[in-house]
Structure 1
């Protein structure tokens, strides 16, 4: 399979690229990015074709599959081109700035019968499968997700300063980090889930995007709280995290990135190993999505799956309102 990356300056590049280099029968044939310095650096590193125009590159090298990254504002145009060209692809989250962006390309992909995967990578792990099994036994009553990442300055250091401009990224930790947990909230609570309330702030770093966010979801009295931020003094891919769930017969806790505990109502408990952060699942995603293309199976998650998630994202930003004026005045 001939593989191309577009929007290759995205900080997630190596999460996809390094596993790809291990996939039997996969060949990296090109990278594209609007920044010519990025193209020069990556083509020298990888020994493949490169171009600042992804359309030109794809038409020249004719890939079998594309990993589409880049700025959030550019993602719908990338998707439209790949759909119209009939090239299977995976589009990085959030696939656009809002629900309208994503709904339009999802409708086009469905109408054209496109293979349009989205890396909602928790779906590639056993933790989300365990939560679904518990939900099948009875309704969830409460859930909390706390997922705090490193400082926003890391995006500038990675050459992705656009992430701190809401006109280009759509926002901060909510549209970036919380997407995974909005997906889990939707899976646990169902289509009737809505955003009950949201609070966001840029007080810690005085950037134009939120560096802290708390969103509460509700469905028929069941509640789910998603807390994200850019506050944790740790390297990339390390998180301050804790999840908890109340199901009818047990209380489930994810204590850390590898340990889950279930406390039963009868007082017994059990613990097991499970990957509860997103980062390790990208490798699984890369192998899985390419195998699905090769064998003619649909993706595990597609653009249509992103539409209800982006509906919740839009609701969260609407509920939160503008960032605090006191913080904005310091910009």
Structure 2
């Protein structure tokens, strides 16, 4: 598969480069709004830089991975969709849900392939739970807890993307940027519609324009409870931060701590360690799955519809919190 990485100044660019290599892709070019950045990225990685976005569209790629500033990504995404080129759309893809909905509607109209990399869908606890559910062994889902707490907001400035904590550009803080992974997890596991029971949002530590911590409590139509915890309050810049995906059903407890994952089941009294893929390298699994689906002309595992659903629920949380 031939791929173009468009938006090398995004803080996930190196992760996607690693993922493309791991999936066996041929990286046929890289691009960025800052041409000098693209050239530097290309030189460091022995790749070819593309000077203009028109060159991205003309590169004969099987997939364009688009990432960048939310004010310009929508126009680029629209161009890719209208060119009928499969798209992997990194977040944040827009400053508002309304702008993202316009892209979703265009994607539906064009019957476009638009994948969104929310890689914790491929984490060991989620995969093991879905396998148990497919075997009819999971039992009734009881609750889930999804926590992503990373280092302080200064890490975005260090990565050259300080705009992430500007609410007019990034559209929110820890909940919008990090909590979206947990919200997506809850939406993917829920039975029917999710109801927002309570929300707490604050910026007690860093006093930035956006929240540095948020906690949501959600309930699905079957009564399963989900909590989503997101923050920039981890007291270290160390990658990984404080991470946990916990899924509990009548027959199973699954816990993914990032560098360790376990599954306990009542029906066979088993307690096993699950194969681990670190959160930072789960993009490899996401990329590989995307290529496989493209090759068999299947829909993406995580679509722009999923992205809109998560963004909309986060909008509702901000509104409930008075933000």
Report the TM-score, using the length of structure 1 for normalisation. Answer: 0.86
Q: CA RMSD in A?
A: 2.5
Any conservation in 2 of the 1:122–1:180 contact (CA below 8 Å)? yes
1:41 pairs with 2:43: no
Ranges in structure 2 where 5+ consecutive residues have no aligned partner = none
8 A Cα contact 2:7 2:31, kept in partner = yes
What does residue 262 of structure 1 align with?
A: 264
Are the aligned partners of 2:125 and 2:255 in contact in 1 as well (CA < 8 Å)? no
Query: 2: CA distance between counterparts of 1:125 and 1:297?
Result: 21
The structure 1 segments of at least 4 consecutive aligned residues displaced by more than 6 Å after TM superposition are none
Give CA deviations for 1:135-192 in whole Å, capped at 9, x if unaligned: 6644323222222112211111111111111111111111111112111111222331
Cα pair distance change 1:279/1:255, threshold 3 Å: closer
The separation in 2 between residues aligned to 1:179 and 1:102, in whole angstroms, is: 14
2:239 & 2:208 partners in 1: Cα distance?
Answer: 21
Q: Deviations over 1:201-229 (max 9, x none)?
A: 12222222211111111224432111111
Question: Is the alpha carbon distance of 1:127 and 1:253 closer, same or farther for their aligned partners in structure 2, counting shifts above 3 Å?
Answer: closer
Deviations 1:23-66 (A, max 9, x none): 44x33232222223312312332340332x42x22244343321
Runs of 5+ unmatched residues, structure 1: 323-331
Counterpart-to-counterpart distance in 2, 1:189 and 1:225:
12
Contact 2:57 2:80 in 1 (8 A): no
User: Alpha carbons of 1:142 and 1:63: their partners in 2 closer, same or farther (altered >3 Å)?
Assistant: closer
1:12 lines up with 2:12 in the alignment:
yes
Shift of 1:71: 2.0
Instruction: Tell me the distance in 1 between the aligned counterparts of 2:216 and 2:277.
Output: 20
Cα distance in 1, alignment partners of residues 75 and 251 from structure 2: 47
User: Number of paired residues?
Assistant: 318
Distance 1:184 1:22 in 2: 24
SS of the aligned residue for 2:184 comes to helix
Alpha carbons 2:144, 2:227 under 8 Å: kept: yes
